[in-house]
């Protein structure tokens, strides 16, 4: 087998070819490698900060972490960038498959688009999604599986996938705790006014009054989660230690035993939740029922000076409405790591609006999470190529219908509009 790397200005492209009797093309969109600040050039691998990472054998509900037959990486490696390859190269080459990995995914003539015609499997991460629209699915007649390296498959037109017989799967649970930790960090960053205070420190300043003029304690605040699933529950469990009044809403109400254990109050709908909360955290999937849920009208129902945190999907919030609410003082702060589209354009209003604690979409792609979702991708590919059933909890669409986690979490339809 041979490896071909194409060097050009712009995104990195890497095509990996197996033996002459290739069985399938696996097409993967990954984010670019790290950039050396001094030279401006990409490099890989980055130096390892830690010698190891903790082993997580199973998730809070007892589901085991991914169980592929083997892995060809060391947990803690950077796997989500182009040169990290999700640790798939050796595995796929050994089976004679062709692996095409690129960061060039957007716009007419992208590398991803140029390989649609003969791709059997398409993989991308929620952090750097390849928007698999109905038009792109129609251009991929051999496509059998759309695989999310992570959780959240809203970048796939699920209606079109189902109609075309394309199965959709993701690595359920793989980074739920990663995201929950990020949510708690962002809530504290907003309420305690951490980022402006940090900027004062590194710029040589010491104006304590400016630092604390927007800083409060989280203790006894009312915090509500839009969504009581894996991430929503994990966030609420972690906030219990802060002695908050914890509330949630979800179309699937939790068992009373769980509500009592965490100390939750159930709200029947989003409107009743946001009217009562000092902090609202969005932890639900994006589907037609949640698209632009937080628009000017919904934000108008929130308490003055409330904080809004969104690590779910950018398209759940209307960008201009959030920016206007911050400028007008309706919201005290907004934090999140999800945008629409992704990558976000340089002039996206969330980059410049006041009192924001935005990051790129990083909450679920920590090195710890990457080890799990890379292993999960391999497990799913092994099942796909061996003709074995994919775990039910990994399934989003199967045989033309929402299935597994998809049937529980999504509604039929399409939320990719405007992506490309």
Q: Which residues are catalytic?
A: 175, 313, 342, 361
Measured from the Cβ of residue 340, the count of other Cβ atoms closer than 10 Å reads 22
Residue written as token pair 């037609």: 288
Is the CA virtual torsion 371, 377, 381, 387 positive or negative?
positive
| Residue 397: strand pairing partners | 168, 402
- For 70-109, b/e burial (b = at least 16 CB within 10 A) is ebebebbbbbbbbbbbbbbbebbbebebbbbbbbbbbeee
Give residue for tokens 């792609």: 365
Q: Which residues contact 122 (CB under 8 A, 6 or more apart)?
A: 27, 28, 29, 112, 116, 130, 132, 140, 143, 145, 146, 147
Task: Work out the number of other CB atoms within 10 angstroms of the CB of residue 233.
Answer: 23
Written as six digits, the tokens of 266 are 């159930």
List the one residue out of 363, 319, 286, 345 whose CA is nearest residue 106: 345
SS3 assignment for 320-371: HHHHHHHHHCCEEEEEECCCCCCCCCCCCHHHCCCCEEECCCCCCCCHHHHH
Task: Extract the tokens encoding 361.
Answer: 């979409």
**Alpha carbon distance 420, 405 (integer Å):** 27
Residues 172 and 369: beta-carbon distance below 8 Å: no
Q: What is the distance between the alpha carbons of residues 374 and 397, in angstroms, rounded to a whole number?
A: 20
Tokens of 121: 């499997």
Nearest-angstrom CA–CA distance, 74 and 78: 9
Give, in degrees to the nearest 5, the angle at Cα 175 between 320 and 137.
65
Residue 399, judged by CB atoms within 10 A of its CB (0-12, 13-18, 19+), counts as: exposed
């Amino acid at each position: 087998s041979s490896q071909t790397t194409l060097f050009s200005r712009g995104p990195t492209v890497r095509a990996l070819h197996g033996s002459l009797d290739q069985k399938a093309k696996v097409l993967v969109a990954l984010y670019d490698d790290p950039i050396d600040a001094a030279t401006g050039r990409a490099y890989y691998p980055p130096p390892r900060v830690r010698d190891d990472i903790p082993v997580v054998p199973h998730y809070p509900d007892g589901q085991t972490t991914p169980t592929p037959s083997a892995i060809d990486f060391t947990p803690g490696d950077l796997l989500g960038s182009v040169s990290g390859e999700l640790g798939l190269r050796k595995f796929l080459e050994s089976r004679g498959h062709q692996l095409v990995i690129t960061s060039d995914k957007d716009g007419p003539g992208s590398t991803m688009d140029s390989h649609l015609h003969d791709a059997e499997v398409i993989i991308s991460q929620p952090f750097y999604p390849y928007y698999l629209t109905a038009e792109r699915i129609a251009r991929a007649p051999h496509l059998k599986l759309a695989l999310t390296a992570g959780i959240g498959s809203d970048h796939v037109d699920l209606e079109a996938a189902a109609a075309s017989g394309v199965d959709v799967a993701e690595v359920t649970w793989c980074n739920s705790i990663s995201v929950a930790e990020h949510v708690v960090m962002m809530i504290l960053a907003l309420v305690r006014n951490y980022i402006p205070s940090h900027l004062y420190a590194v710029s040589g300043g010491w104006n304590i009054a400016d630092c604390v003029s927007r800083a409060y304690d989280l203790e006894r605040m009312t915090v509500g989660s839009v969504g009581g699933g894996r991430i929503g529950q994990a966030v609420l469990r972690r906030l219990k230690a802060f002695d908050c009044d914890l509330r949630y809403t979800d179309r699937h109400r939790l068992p009373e035993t769980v509500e009592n254990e965490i100390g939750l109050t159930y709200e029947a709908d989003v409107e009743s939740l946001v009217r009562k909360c000092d902090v609202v955290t969005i932890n639900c999937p994006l589907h037609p029922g949640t698209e632009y849920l937080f628009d000017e009208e919904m934000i108008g129902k929130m308490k003055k000076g409330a904080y809004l945190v969104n690590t779910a999907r950018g398209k759940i919030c209307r960008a201009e409405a959030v920016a206007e609410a911050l400028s007008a003082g309706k919201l005290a702060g907004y934090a999140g790591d999800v945008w629409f589209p992704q990558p976000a354009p340089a002039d996206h209003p969330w980059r410049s609006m006041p009192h924001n604690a935005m990051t790129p979409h990083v909450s679920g792609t920590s090195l710890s999470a990457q080890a799990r979702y890379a292993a999960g991708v391999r497990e799913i590919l092994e099942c796909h190529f061996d003709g074995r059933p994919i775990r039910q909890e990994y399934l989003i669409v199967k045989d033309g219908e929402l299935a597994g986690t998809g049937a529980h979490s999504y509604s039929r339809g399409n939320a990719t509009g405007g992506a490309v």
